[in-house]
Chain A
Amino acid sequence: MAEIAFRNVTKRYGKTLAVDDASFTVADNEFFCLFGPPLSGKTTMLRLILGLETPDEGEVLIDGKPVNHVPPSARNIAMVFQNLALFPHMTAEDNVRFPLVERQVPPAQIAARLADAAAKLHIGHILHKMPAQLSGGERQRVAIARAFVRDPAAFLMDDPISALDARLREETRVELKRIQREAGRTLIYVTHDQEEAMSVADRMAILEHGAIRQIGSPAEIYDRPASTYVARLLGSPMMNILPATRTDGRIEAAGGALRLALPGAPGQATELGVRPEDLRVRAWDGSAEGRPATVFEVEPLGGFTVVTLDAGGTRLRALLRGQPDIRVDAQVALACDPARVQFFGAGGQTLARS
């Protein structure tokens, strides 16, 4: 049972600011994801929670108690490493048992905890196998079980499934989420894969240069990003962010290919953002407002189709459902639901509609 919090934490390595005045609270039993590009401070935050680093300023709190000077061994937090780090010469059972044997826990208690972990993680049937005989997902469960038997207050995971191939990642992330829900522990998870982050997280923190830019549920952040930076990080294809100009009560973007009647648009808006899935594309017949866009590339995904468009030198992407018959170099008209458009100011910040 653990609530983990940062209160104005700053950490420097020499001149590099690794964590910049970060504050957040991870609730008990929450699946919390730290998400950002490389070097945005994700891993440093994990190290601060583990106690491998001490904050230069601010406090790390576990269950409301400052732990800045509590050594890692006394924090009762388990880390599951990227490569899972199972001992290859031991069976799954011995791997799971290892931390307990090391701590000289009485045998009866070891058996009880082992049984508990095996039941919670559904690994009873594979305990006799060697790690090499296990699938990626099974290895994952064993690695988590090994951390679980110590009965940690919280788990930390640093990009645990990035080494798996795409198909297996899709399966494993769902599995992870299920394990966390069943095991009922706080989990702080680092990933650089936006799809994975959105899939697993209850809430997530978006990082840039060690600073937290936005915290919220994946849906909140996806639907209402706080800035262009956040907007670009989530979503594939990424959000179209276009310089916008205002002409008598309308907003125009992409060289006139996108014209929206938007009375509520904030005055200072310099850019507008449209998600690819919100962009509608149809053949140009001259009747639509504005100018046509040209189809630059068509990428069929099967269930969806990504269409890259060229409008007055601006590239934008539309994500269409199904397999529409759209050819490269065709002229198309663009439209979108004005309610789904975001506005950004000169500094990239999101502006509220008036």
Chain B
Amino acid sequence: MTATAAPLKDLSQPMSVTAPKPQDEGRKLGFRLTLPAQVLVLFISLFPLLMQLYISLTDWSPLSGMAWPRAWEMWNNFANYTDLISDNRLWSALGRTLLVMVVCVPVEFLLGLGLATLFADDFPGKRIFYSILIMPMMVVPAVAGYMFYMLFQSGGPVNDILSSLLGTPVTVAWLSDPVLAMIAVMVADIWQWTPLMFLILLAGLVGVPEDQMRAATLLGAGPWQRFRTIVLPRMKTIIIIALAIRVIECFKIFDTLYIMTGGGPGVATETISVYIYKITTQDLIWGYVAAIALAILVVLSVACVWAMKRMARAQGDRA
């Protein structure tokens, strides 16, 4: 045993301080104090859910002439749920919703990430660009919808710009063509939601320790290598959160779209939300609507739990 070797022996012990456990009594008291609030919250969120579940098992409609608590008189034994499987319009709407999701979310992600990378460094006029960039997010969706509705008119600014660029008059009927209407709707969605992606990713990017980036640079890593080995692993969690938020939001895409196309031409841009809205307000078959809504809730919840688990695992890798 040399004087030098002695302290080296204990080096592998991680430094940690065993914090005293919070006392159980304190925890119990806290539970009791927050109980009334928790019950209230539970009631507010649970009641509509149960009501929905109840109605979804009946043929009840507001036109049926009886109050909803008596809907059991119109009990239909899961017929709504079996109908749902053979509802082609529903499946097309779901397909369109997924299409919007598959196109818009990656585009928003890549644009957001590019912009975030740009804004992680300083450049002149950063604040002004920053404000302009996050403006779309602050526009009321209905207003945004109206704005894009105007932009994509056949005599609207989009065609005007295309005309002056191409030198010949362009009169594309954007919102009357099934394919072009879909494109227009997606453009609007990307315009409005890229800023959110940008903000979340920027927060993550700024959280990557400067020193680690510098260390990687000094060790000879180029920009792409730094991004791949330092930035991406460190942003895994936040990327999953950002994507999860946008995927869920995509399922709910409604207001902008409804104002621009009303789901048309025909049903060419009809997404889940628009479809539900239509059958709720036009067909008034609320039992069936409740069944669809519940089915989507279940699917989304399962997807969310899966995403959360992935996140937890990603964090576990780091700890």
Question: Do A and B touch (CB < 8 Å)?
Answer: yes
Interface residues of A (CB under 8 A from B): 13-14, 16, 18, 38-39, 44, 47, 53, 232, 237-243, 271, 308, 313-317
- Chain B residues with CB under 8 Å of A316's CB are 2-3
B1 A14 Cβ-Cβ under 8 A: no
B131 at the interface (CB under 8 A from A): no
B12 at the interface (CB under 8 A from A): no
- Cα–Cα, bound, A13→B21 (Å): 7
A240 B3 Cβ-Cβ under 8 A: yes
Interface residues of B (CB under 8 A from A): 1-7, 15, 17-18, 20-21
- Cα–Cα, bound, A238→B7 (Å): 10
Q: Smallest CB–CB gap between A69 and chain B, Å? A: 16
Further pairs besides A238-B6, A308-B4, A315-B5: 4, Cβ < 8 Å: A39-B17, A39-B18, A237-B3, A240-B3
Q: Which of A14, A243, A315 contacts B21 (CB 8 A)?
A: A14
B1 A315 Cβ-Cβ under 8 A: no
B20 A53 Cβ-Cβ under 8 A: yes
Q: Which of B1, B17, B18 contacts A243 (CB 8 A)?
A: B1
Q: Smallest CB–CB gap between B13 and chain A, Å? A: 9
- Chain B residues with CB under 8 Å of A239's CB are 3
Q: Which of A18, A271, A315 contacts B4 (CB 8 A)?
A: A315
B3 A271 Cβ-Cβ under 8 A: no
- Cα–Cα, bound, A159→B70 (Å): 71
- Cα–Cα, bound, A37→B174 (Å): 74
A242 B1 Cβ-Cβ under 8 A: yes
Identity of the chain B residue whose Cβ is nearest the Cβ of A43 in the assembled complex: B17
Query: Could you name 6 residue pairs across A and B whose Cβ atoms are closer than 8 Å?
Result: A13-B20, A13-B21, A47-B20, A240-B3, A314-B2, A315-B5
A315 B2 Cβ-Cβ under 8 A: yes
Given A232-B6, A241-B6, are A18 and B18 neighbors across the interface (CB < 8 Å)?
yes
A241 B3 Cβ-Cβ under 8 A: yes
- Chain A residues with CB under 8 Å of B1's CB are 241-243, 271
Q: Smallest CB–CB gap between B8 and chain A, Å? A: 11
Q: Smallest CB–CB gap between A101 and chain B, Å? A: 29
Please classify the interface of chain A as helix (H, G, I), strand (E, B), loop, or mixed, using the class held by over half of its residues.
Answer: strand
- Cα–Cα, bound, A17→B63 (Å): 72
Identity of the chain B residue whose Cβ is nearest the Cβ of A273 in the assembled complex: B3
- Cα–Cα, bound, A313→B3 (Å): 11
Identity of the chain A residue whose Cβ is nearest the Cβ of B16 in the assembled complex: A39
Identity of the chain B residue whose Cβ is nearest the Cβ of A296 in the assembled complex: B4
- Chain B residues with CB under 8 Å of A314's CB are 2
A242 B15 Cβ-Cβ under 8 A: no
A238 B18 Cβ-Cβ under 8 A: no
- Cα–Cα, bound, A239→B7 (Å): 12
A317 B21 Cβ-Cβ under 8 A: no
- Cα–Cα, bound, A83→B6 (Å): 32
B15 A38 Cβ-Cβ under 8 A: yes
- Cα–Cα, bound, A271→B2 (Å): 11
Q: Smallest CB–CB gap between B251 and chain A, Å? A: 45
B2 A242 Cβ-Cβ under 8 A: yes
- Chain A residues with CB under 8 Å of B21's CB are 13-14
Q: Which of B4, B5, B15, B18 contacts A16 (CB 8 A)?
A: B18
- Cα–Cα, bound, A39→B18 (Å): 8
- Cα–Cα, bound, A47→B18 (Å): 14
- Chain B residues with CB under 8 Å of A14's CB are 21
Q: Smallest CB–CB gap between A53 and chain B, Å? A: 7
- Chain A residues with CB under 8 Å of B20's CB are 13, 44, 47, 53
Identity of the chain B residue whose Cβ is nearest the Cβ of A270 in the assembled complex: B1
- Cα–Cα, bound, A317→B5 (Å): 12
- Chain B residues with CB under 8 Å of A238's CB are 3, 6
- Chain B residues with CB under 8 Å of A241's CB are 1, 3, 6
- Cα–Cα, bound, A239→B21 (Å): 38
Q: Smallest CB–CB gap between A138 and chain B, Å? A: 30
Of B1, B3, B4, the most chain A CB neighbours within 10 A belong to B3
- Chain A residues with CB under 8 Å of B5's CB are 315
Identity of the chain A residue whose Cβ is nearest the Cβ of B19 in the assembled complex: A13
- Cα–Cα, bound, A241→B7 (Å): 12
- Cα–Cα, bound, A120→B18 (Å): 38
Identity of the chain B residue whose Cβ is nearest the Cβ of A239 in the assembled complex: B3
A13 B3 Cβ-Cβ under 8 A: no
**Which 10 A-B residue pairings sit nearest by Cβ, starting from the closest?**
A315-B4, A315-B2, A314-B2, A240-B3, A16-B18, A316-B3, A13-B18, A315-B3, A317-B3, A13-B20
Identity of the chain B residue whose Cβ is nearest the Cβ of A314 in the assembled complex: B2
Q: Smallest CB–CB gap between A309 and chain B, Å? A: 10
- Chain A residues with CB under 8 Å of B17's CB are 38-39
- Cα–Cα, bound, A238→B8 (Å): 13
- Chain B residues with CB under 8 Å of A315's CB are 2-5
Identity of the chain A residue whose Cβ is nearest the Cβ of B6 in the assembled complex: A232
- Cα–Cα, bound, A103→B288 (Å): 67
- Cα–Cα, bound, A140→B15 (Å): 29
- Cα–Cα, bound, A314→B17 (Å): 34
Of B4, B7, B18, the most chain A CB neighbours within 10 A belong to B4
Q: Smallest CB–CB gap between A91 and chain B, Å? A: 35
Q: Smallest CB–CB gap between B122 and chain A, Å? A: 30
- Cα–Cα, bound, A41→B3 (Å): 25
- Cα–Cα, bound, A39→B7 (Å): 16
- Cα–Cα, bound, A14→B21 (Å): 9
- Chain B residues with CB under 8 Å of A38's CB are 15, 17
- Cα–Cα, bound, A16→B18 (Å): 8
- Chain A residues with CB under 8 Å of B18's CB are 13, 16, 18, 39
Identity of the chain A residue whose Cβ is nearest the Cβ of B4 in the assembled complex: A315
- Cα–Cα, bound, A14→B24 (Å): 13
Q: Smallest CB–CB gap between B3 and chain A, Å? A: 5
Identity of the chain A residue whose Cβ is nearest the Cβ of B5 in the assembled complex: A315
- Cα–Cα, bound, A18→B18 (Å): 9
- Chain B residues with CB under 8 Å of A242's CB are 1-2
- Cα–Cα, bound, A38→B13 (Å): 12
- Cα–Cα, bound, A16→B6 (Å): 25
- Chain A residues with CB under 8 Å of B2's CB are 242, 313-316
- Chain B residues with CB under 8 Å of A271's CB are 1
- Chain B residues with CB under 8 Å of A308's CB are 4
- Cα–Cα, bound, A271→B20 (Å): 39
